Amino acid sequence: MSTLKDNITKMIHHLPEDATLEDIQYHLYVLEKIRKGQESIKNGKGISYEEAKVRLSKWITK
């Protein structure tokens, strides 16, 4: 399992050389949201794939 520090280090190495502080902040924000989502799923608070499809179908038109 990767540590938070490992994930941040990988993220920074994948950013372009001209990345701004705002770019880094945004990517950190996204990493934190992903971490919280994974934690929620681990604690049984997620929704099924089928439920996600139903919810998204209200937003996405074909």
Residue with tokens 């998204």: 56
Percent of the chain predicted with pLDDT > 70? 97
Sign of the torsion formed by the C-alpha atoms of 29, 31, 34 and 40: negative
Task: Kindly state the DSSP code that residue 11 receives in the 8-state scheme.
Answer: H
Answer with the residue of higher pLDDT: 3 or 20: 20
Structural domain includes residue 62: no
Q: What is the mean pLDDT of the chain?
A: 91
Structural domain includes residue 11: yes
Domain that holds residue 12: 4-57
Residue 14, φ and ψ in degrees, nearest 5: -90, -10
Structural domain includes residue 45: yes
Total domain count, the chain: 1
Question: How buried is 55 (Cβ within 10 angstroms: 0-12 exposed, 13-18 middle, 19+ buried)?
Answer: exposed
Q: Which segments of 1-62 does DSSP mark as H helices, in order?
A: 4-14, 21-42, 49-57
